[in-house]
Chain A
Amino acid sequence: MSTLLRLATAGSVDDGKSTLVGRLLYDSKSVLADQFDAVERVSRDRGLTSADLALLTDGLRSEREQGITIDVAYRYFATAHRTFILADCPGHVQYTRNTVTGASTADVVVLLVDVRKGLQEQTRRHLAVASLLRVPHVVVVVNKIDLVDYEQATYARVSEEVTAAARSLGMPDVQTLPVSALEGDNVVTRSQHTPWYDGPSLLELLEGLSSKGDPDAEPLRFPVQLVIRPQSAADERFRDYRGYAGQVASGVVRVGDPIAVLPSGRSTTVVGIDQAGQELDEAFAPQSVTLRLADDIDISRGDLIAGAAEPPELTQDVDGTIAWLADHALRPGAKVLLKHGTRTVQALVRTISGRLDLDATELRPADTLDLNDIGHVKLRLAAPIPAEPYVRARSTGAFLLIDAHDGTTLAAGMVGDALLATATV
């Protein structure tokens, strides 16, 4: 049974993302015959001489009409070593929110750059998104290397340019490689056209990346989703059953562990860990389990169970970095909902303390945040939450801002000063 790696593609429009994904799927033999036949047929209808691999992922009618990617397409492929979930994200600035969607769950961002164009504004934006979201790995594919006759000097210049931009955003070790997605150079197999490149192909690189953090090194965080109380169970044994269902967000929980419940602050110990009828001795992130506790204390959805040794602090004042994803601008004084873990509370946007200037990669003063802006805000909450800095805890430092009236998701939020943290790394 293999393990999973989640990747997201990013990059400016026309950098060839969908073509790369198509190539990755095709050369790893993950495209089935009828899918390829359909692509060949449509390509032929459009007067193309060879199959346009981008058609494998651009699935919406309007995407095919416009030849662009509008929303994330999820694709699945496997090699002998690994299973991959791939989020093929759009390049247009207008659809950055969809790229944020794809990157938020990724272990790796594969960022494409057209070797002829070098670093674009969208490249910077996507690097900033990957940096902010703390995506564990970033791989930069310098694409269309065939169009500059596989010149090492051109590749080296673009590679250095992107690496420097990544460094300024707090990502010291991004990997770059020369690729032609169209011709298949260095995608699945190493290319003979780039003898000066002695690194792995993209797929080899992806197969070797580590996908998970180390649960043993992280504190236990377990947001309670719901209380399971089968009062009417036919089985007598479960009449008094009371369990707290959730997914371990970080760390490890063992039977006998002392825990604290937030926000009440009460403490007790774990007496049982159930997984659908099977009793476990321990559970770790990201397992979905049900915990039984020694004392009958008041716990409900929205509470957080944490290791007693290092519970997070509660706060009603959250400084956060947000990626604003709504069409209308955010202004100070806005009242919104904040979803953190399994808890949703009202929030007031007290101040907008700055907006990221992508060229200078620094925070500039701002009164509003517009669609796709990344900025820093101060929030006052109607009730305290156990907020932890996102840079330390990706799973418990994340939040959503939601429109209370129509339910729209307004922003991806990260507790703490993620921007300054990146600038000072």
Chain B
Amino acid sequence: MTLTPSRELTQLQWLESESIHIIREVAAEFERPVILFSGGKDSVVMLHLVVKAFWPAKVPFAVLHVDTGHNFPEVLRFRDDTVERLGLRLEVASVQDYIDDGRLRERADGTRNPLQTQPLLDAIAEHRFDAVFGGGRRDEEKARAKERVFSLRDEFGQWDPRNQRPELWNLYNGRHTPGQHVRVFPLSNWTELDIWQYIGAEKIELPPLYYAHDREVVERDGMLLAVGPYSPAREGETVTTRRVRYRTVGDMSCTGAVDSSASTVEDVIAEVAATRITERGATRADDRISEAAMEDRKKEGYF
């Protein structure tokens, strides 16, 4: 971004500055940080900020992806290309491995999102990661709206929302005891619109499914779900080809597409600015289970 001569930052410059400060604090105060990277737009923006924070040095962190086994192939390709381009070390925690050897069982509803928690926590323990960067934003969801930037997890990976540390000024406290770790959310204060405006301003590349394309989908529970190997059409459902894009990218079986003709960043920014439905409300089946679905998952150690 170019700087304006006035001595007041635009909202994007302010957010970028805050995020870079947070990222550098983690590099300075933790032994073994790791970045959660899925190839989704928020983790791509987070990684972009990490690169900027340490320029011209290399990113001093490893990258971890919790792979549900039901990811969009184009997103996995994007993940691998990015990791290679930046020379990062990628660790993959595979939900499929856990299902194959019986440590986890497939759920009746077929969604694998809640199954990510155990492989995530195991990977954190195995690699002794003490700080784990997540791309979560407070505007996404009401439990996330309550979370600190530095969010302490106990030895079971649990979040205790009723007993969070005070977080004062920009003095982040990353102290923890052995076995505990800290989840760090450098994008806490960004909104979906900020993310897209930043992607436009910084010309950040994303997996192609964030832009309008033709895809075979079925309508289920008011959402458009891609028809694919992990998410076949059910009996009685009609498969149609529609012009869609994704607002979030996750497990294919529970992430919905939205009707859209937005094929450029500018189109998407206009679309997001005018939308009347939240990102998760439009696209995430798993958050519709209950009023507190996200809080319950987070307490157990979810992202």
Spell out A's residues near B (CB within 8 Å).
1-4, 32-35, 38, 42, 56-57, 59-62, 64, 70-76, 83, 85, 97-98, 100-101, 104-105, 211-212, 214-216, 225-226, 228-230, 232-233, 235, 237-238, 241, 245-247, 252, 274-278, 280, 284, 286-288, 290, 301, 325, 337, 339-342, 395, 398-400, 402-403, 406-409, 412
Most chain A CB neighbours (cut-off 10 Å) among B21, B28, B168, B171: B168
Chain A residues, Cβ within 8 Å of B27: 225-226
* Bound CA–CA A4/B167 (angstroms): 20
Complex contact B13–A287 (CB within 8 A): yes
Q: What are 13 A-B residue pairs whose CB atoms fall within 8 Å in the complex? A: A34-B278, A57-B145, A74-B188, A76-B191, A101-B167, A214-B7, A247-B17, A252-B7, A286-B17, A301-B28, A325-B166, A406-B175, A407-B175
Q: Which of B159-178 contact A (CB under 8 A)?
A: 161-162, 164-171, 173, 175-177
Complex contact A288–B142 (CB within 8 A): no
CB distance from A18 to the nearest CB of B (A): 12
Q: Which size bracket describes the interface of B in this complex?
A: 35 or more
Spell out B's residues near A (CB within 8 Å).
2-3, 7-14, 16-18, 20-21, 24-25, 27-28, 51-58, 138-139, 141-143, 145-146, 152, 161-162, 164-171, 173, 175-177, 188-189, 191, 275-278, 281-282, 291-292, 295-296
With A42-B291, A75-B145 as known contacts, state yes or no: A286 contacts B168, CB within 8 Å: no
Chain B residues, Cβ within 8 Å of A412: 166, 168
* Bound CA–CA A287/B14 (angstroms): 7
Complex contact A33–B276 (CB within 8 A): yes
* Bound CA–CA A230/B58 (angstroms): 7
* Bound CA–CA A59/B165 (angstroms): 18
With both beta carbons as reference points, the residue of chain B lying nearest to A249 in the complex is identified as B170
Complex contact A247–B7 (CB within 8 A): no
Complex contact A105–B173 (CB within 8 A): no
Complex contact B168–A35 (CB within 8 A): no
Complex contact A62–B162 (CB within 8 A): yes
Given A100-B166, A245-B54, A275-B52, 7 other A-B residues pairs in contact with their CB atoms under 8 A:
A32-B281, A60-B162, A101-B167, A233-B56, A241-B56, A284-B7, A398-B171
With A62-B162, A73-B146, A286-B18 as known contacts, state yes or no: A245 contacts B175, CB within 8 Å: no
CB distance from B282 to the nearest CB of A (A): 7
* Bound CA–CA A85/B276 (angstroms): 20
